[in-house]
Amino acid sequence: MPNAKNTQGNLFSLCGHPIFHSIRNLFVKTSQGLPINIKSTLITVAALLSSGCTQIGVQLANLPSHLDAHERHRGIAYGKHPQQKLDIYVPSDKRDRPRPVLVFFYGGRWSDGSKAMYPFVAKPFVDQGYIVVIPDYRKYPEVIFPAFVEDGALAVAWTLDNIASYFGDPNQLVIMGHSAGAHIGALLSADERYLAQHGHSTEQIKAFAGLSGPYDFIPEEEDLKDIFGPPERYPQMTVTTFIEGHEPPMLLLWGAQDNLVGQRNISLLFEKIQQQGGQVETIIYPSMGHVEMVSNLIWFIPDKAPVTRDITDFFARQL
């Protein structure tokens, strides 16, 4: 896994993050030929993004989630720790039938990120009828592996036990994650011990979709060694260690421009699942980078790849 210490944080954690420069350029390009009042507004937004105004970027990305009619339930405790809370996004027409449930784990190098930054991920799936659950979880340096995976399993167990109260169908639960969140989601889907601690089974997970996940790597940077070490413990954090062929069907998504998480991660996991007779699909997007895999879901960024469609098509075939 390449050194990503300064760039693999959550989507909006860094002032001047490349995503803001991409969005700035988009706003400038979009403004060409528009009336002067609209053009000036877009240019102003572009300038704010260029200067690394993080909070403005977050608000822009999540603006539709504040304007639509979907229900939001925030800060629900699934455990006793302050970080063990989750948000639930519910379609406005949920009462006509129980809805499929998507649990999303965000990335951030197992040390950064917040559920408050990712309503934009929930929106396209809620629009298609999913109830979306986004948990926070404990992070390094407060904890090391496997605490954040244990939190992920606890959040999934809570969802299975309680989502019916929010018109969700616990028999139609899928998991999605990006980067470190994809690692968390894949590991608790493959290693049966995590959910078993809460009286549940990986069989209750109907499918998993991972975006740019580090599923099989050897920690090289000092913080990652601290998170996952000592070396004799590395197999326990490697998803391929636990593949036996009966895991939930997996969709592994990766961008060919990703310079943070190498292709070997999806290649090794894909090969292991195939060898064991499991169900797995991969999609490689030639023009996508690491951050773009999730930022592609932001409402005002033109689709460089059909990520949402590919995921929902995959989930629909499993439910």
Taking only the tens place, the pLDDT of each residue in 145-166 is 999 999 999 999 999 999 999 9
Neighbouring residues of 317: CB distance < 8 A, sequence distance ≥ 6:
none
Contact by Cβ (8 Å): 64, 126: no
Whether residue 11 is predicted with pLDDT greater than 80 in this model: the reply is: no
Partners of 176 in the beta sheet? 104, 209
The pLDDT of residue 68 is: 61
Check whether domain 70-318 has CATH 3.10.300.10, yes or no: no
pLDDT digits (tens, 9 = 90+) for 210-257: 999 999 999 999 999 999 999 999 999 999 999 999 999 999 999 999
Read off the pLDDT of residues 42-90 as tens digits, 9 standing for 90 and up.
444 444 444 444 444 445 545 555 446 578 999 999 999 999 999 999 9
Q: CA 76 to CA 86: how far, in whole Å? A: 5
Q: Are 114 and 144 in contact (CB under 8 A)?
A: no
The pLDDT value recorded for residue 291 is 87
Question: Taking the domains of the chain in order of start, what are their residue ranges?
Answer: 70-318
Q: Is the dihedral of CA 283, 286, 287, 290 positive or negative?
A: positive
pTM: 0.83
Residue appearing with tokens 């260690």: 241
Q: How far apart are the C-alpha atoms of 99 and 131, rounded to whole Å?
A: 6
State which amino acid sits at residue 296: N
Strand, coil or helix: 77? strand
